[in-house]
Amino acid sequence: MARKNTKLKPLQKVGVLLVNLGTPDGYDKKSMRKYLAEFLSDKRVIEWPRAIWLPILYGIVLNVRPKKSGALYESIWNTEKDESPLRTFSRSQSEQLSERLSDLKNVVVDWGMRYGNPSIASRLDFLREQGCDRIVVFPLYPQYSAATTATVNDKTFEALEKMRWMPALRTVPAYPAEPSYIDGLAVSIENHLKTLDFKPEKIIASFHGIPAGYAEQGDPYPKQCEETHHLLCERLGVSKDYLMLCYQSRFGPEEWLQPYTDKTIEKLAGEGIKNLAVFNPGFVCDCLETLEEIAVEGQEIFHVAGGENFSHIPCLNDSSEGIKVFEDIIRRELGGWA
């Protein structure tokens, strides 16, 4: 009996979508107001009752904060590309990861933002148009929080709700103990310290904070920050008294996770510490919270309080160590798909 002459179906593609927090399109008041409105109206970020929070947001915050935040963004803006550093690094991370995965012929790598542009919905549409019937969404937060990882997943599924034909989906979990992540941070710190003309008496690992009440309700974020901190101390062979864990970027009147980074910087200088370095293990790339809040404001606090030498250690950004973290995780998450 003659065999049927059958042809193999074209190989379907798999999309990989890297998602960071977000960035305004510009530092002008209109752009800042639009960005802050989207960010601060997220129920995952501000959990206050809407009847209380929205009048405050639209009546006070969005009339005051855009100008102030715009000035801060202007101070760190990538003027050559006319964009924030977060967008510059995110694009580069996506491009370099794509090169690292070039042996996987059916994989398409892209990037997007939870708030601002390019939106998650627009990039899901793009990947689907590229022939991707399976997509891996990677929220770029090493430590999980409902206000970060969860809201990326929320927005992703919200976009899928509007699709008539949708791709299969996987979401990447947080990675506070990923070996290449811990090693990448350690190598980054060690390499940076070699460039300094002073030896830090203390180093602060400054994570983004969340309201203490979120943790009390079960958010695992502080436990995962502590796990990363513990493993990093072990990897570097230093004590937790030398490599200190702190939290930054609090907002509003409620209590946030402590110890606070700014208060700790001031306290250390007041106690006679003259040489200090700070880095941000919870951020995959430098942004307003690292380049302005730590590298500028943190340094000023330290000097005013009596400190002398201060250095901000850059995030992993688009370094080879940083891209290796993404590659290791994505190759694992693509199991059976690529």
pTM for the model: 0.94
Can you list the residues of the chain whose pLDDT is less than 70? 1-11
pLDDT, position 12: 87
Q: Which of 119, 22, 114, 19 is nearest to 69 (CA)?
A: 22
Each residue's pLDDT tens digit, 139-152 = 999 999 999 999 99
The domains located in the chain, with CATH, are 13-174+321-333 (3.40.50.1400), 179-313 (3.40.50.1400)
Any residues with CB less than 8 A from the CB of 181 and at least 6 apart, and which?
A: 142, 175, 228, 325
CB of 145 closer than 8 Å to CB of 213: no
CB of 239 closer than 8 Å to CB of 276: no
CB of 298 closer than 8 Å to CB of 310: yes
The answer, yes or no, to whether the previous bond of 49 is cis (omega within 30 of 0) is no
pLDDT, position 252: 85
pLDDT, position 338: 84
Does the CA dihedral 62-68-69-74 come out positive or negative? Answer: positive
Q: What is the end-to-end Cα distance of the chain in Å, rounded?
A: 36
Each residue's pLDDT tens digit, 44-61 = 999 999 999 999 999 999
- Helix (H), strand (E), coil (C) string for the chain: CCCCCCCCCCCCEEEEEEEEEEECCCCCHHHHHHHHHHHHCCCCCCCCCHHHHHHHHHHHHHHHHHHHHHHHHHHHCECCCCECHHHHHHHHHHHHHHHHCCCCCCEEEEEEEEEECCEHHHHHHHHHHCCEEEEEEEECCCCCCHHHHHHHHHHHHHHHHCCCCCCEEEECCCCCCCHHHHHHHHHHHHHHHHCCCCCCCEEEEEEECCEHHHHHCCCCHHHHHHHHHHHHHHHHCCCCCCEEEEEECCCCCCCECCCEHHHHHHHHHHCCCCEEEEECCCCCCCCHHHHCHHHHHHHHHHHHCCCCEEEEECCCCCCHHHHHHHHHHHHHHCCCCC
| Most distant CA pair in the chain, distance | 91
Pairing assessment for the beta strands 202-208 and 309-313 based on DSSP bridges: unpaired
pLDDT, position 165: 87
pLDDT, position 11: 53
What are the tokens at 157? 């599924």
Question: Residue 320 to residues 141, 145, 289, 312: CA-CA distances in angstroms?
Answer: 18, 26, 23, 19
